[in-house]
Structure 1
Amino acid sequence: MIIRPEDLIQILKLSEEQIDCAGVKLTLHSIYMLEEPGELSIDTRKIPRYRELVCTTKCMVPMGVYIVRYNEYIKIPNGYVGLAIPRSSLLRMGVTIHSAAWDPGYEGQGIGLMIVFNPHGVILSKGVQIAQLVYFKMTGETQKVYNGVYKGEKAD
């Protein structure tokens, strides 16, 4: 079941300005380019180095793959899961955002994977809404809440 924005205000103690039609607004803090390969195996997780795409108020983002950091510090309560979906205006510009599941117990200033398919790029303003985080209710609370390395992550 998807949680209504009106209920998110109560559950998460949010203001009206922080919610969208189906979830919590996620706005652009920063954009990063990947600088090297990553590695993932059974006993290895090597996240590549990122280099920030430096811009003032507006960013000209060429076609490519990027990591985006959101402004909002998000908390996912036990019994809920979040999924970030792109703003439809981005899709109409040839840009999308991918997200992993935001696990129960996670909190932090999360990231997304932004892919600019438009061969002409896209211009994005800092602070603009680029996604919304939709909350799903689980059948109950879980004993497996997130307590991994990204808990509490924040922008540099």
Structure 2
Amino acid sequence: MLGEEELRKLFPEYEDTIQPSGIDLKVDKIYEQTTGGSLIDNQKNLPEIKELKCDENEIYTLKPKTAYSVTIMGKTHIPVGYTMLYLPRSTLLRSFISVHTAVGDPGFYGTLQFMIVNNGEYEYKLKKGERIAQAVVFKVTGSGEYDGSYQEKNNINKGS
């Protein structure tokens, strides 16, 4: 796992959120599901979503027993030869809020999107810009490069 010094070199876009062993990731927008979806024979039919409105203080209210999609501030570029694992912040877990994530593949560039669930019996308030997850980075030997449907175009030189 990479530490603070290496993270600063590889991820200058996260300079203000780099921790000793990871990168804090902050809430940008939260979305509610409005339709169903499916995954059949690797054909993705994603549910439609709509942005959850926050109040005038940029605070979202998460309903009990409800799942939401959340995007993370900024674009993430994972260099080839590295992978990211995303872990929830313990404060959320202690508050009955779970964050569901996936693996960040080498070469991925784009907006990170996770699922956040209020598993509790009560509403939960979450302010835009709060840290909800931490990315930990590992070297990967013999890796290829992500070229999936969630890849966004970028101006970053490949392999950098």
For 2:31 and 2:14, the matched residues in 1 are separated by: 29
> How many angstroms apart in 2 are the aligned matches of 1:49 and 1:23?
32
Describe the superposition over 1:77-121 as per-residue Cα deviations: whole angstroms up to 9, x where unpaired.
Answer: 111111111111111111011111111110111100111111102
Q: Is contact 1:22-1:132 (8 Å) kept?
A: no
Relative to structure 1, the CA distance from residue 119 to residue 137 in structure 2 (aligned partners, 3 Å threshold; closer, same or farther) is same
Query: What's the secondary structure of 2:104's corresponding residue?
Result: coil
Give the Cα–Cα distance (whole angstroms) in 2 for the partners of residues 137 and 46 of structure 1: 32
Letter in 2 for 1:35: T
Moved more, 43-52 or 11-20: 11-20
**1:38 is the counterpart of 2:40:** no
Q: Partner letter of residue 53 of structure 1?
A: L
Name the SS for the 2:103 alignment partner: coil
Aligned to 1:151: 151
Letter in 2 for 1:119: E
- Equivalent-residue separation in structure 2 for 1:26 and 1:92 (angstroms): 18
Structure 2: stretches of 5+ with no match in the other structure:
154-160
**Whole-Å separation in 2 of the counterparts to 1:34 and 1:114:** 12
3-state SS of the aligned residue for 2:44?
Answer: strand
TM-score when scaled to structure 1? Answer: 0.89
Contact 1:68 1:112 in 2 (8 A): yes
Provide the residue aligned with 1:28 in structure 2: 27
2:7 aligned with 1:8: yes
Q: Distance between the aligned counterparts of 1:16 and 1:77, measured in 2?
A: 16
After superposition, what is the alpha-carbon deviation per residue over 1:47-78, rounded to whole angstroms, capped at 9, x for unaligned?
A: 00001111131111112111000003111111
Q: Which amino acid aligns with 1:71?
A: M
Residues 110, 15 of structure 1: alpha-carbon distance in 2 compared, 3 angstrom cutoff: closer
**TM-score of the two chains, using structure 2 as the length reference:** 0.87
Alignment RMSD (CA, Å): 1.6
1:94 counterpart residue number: 96
> Is 1:120–2:130 an aligned residue pair?
no
Percent identity for Structure 1 against Structure 2: 30
Within-5 A mapping of 1:122-137: 122-137=124-139
Letter of the aligned partner of 1:80 in structure 2? Y
In structure 2, distance between residues paired with 1:37 and 1:89: 30
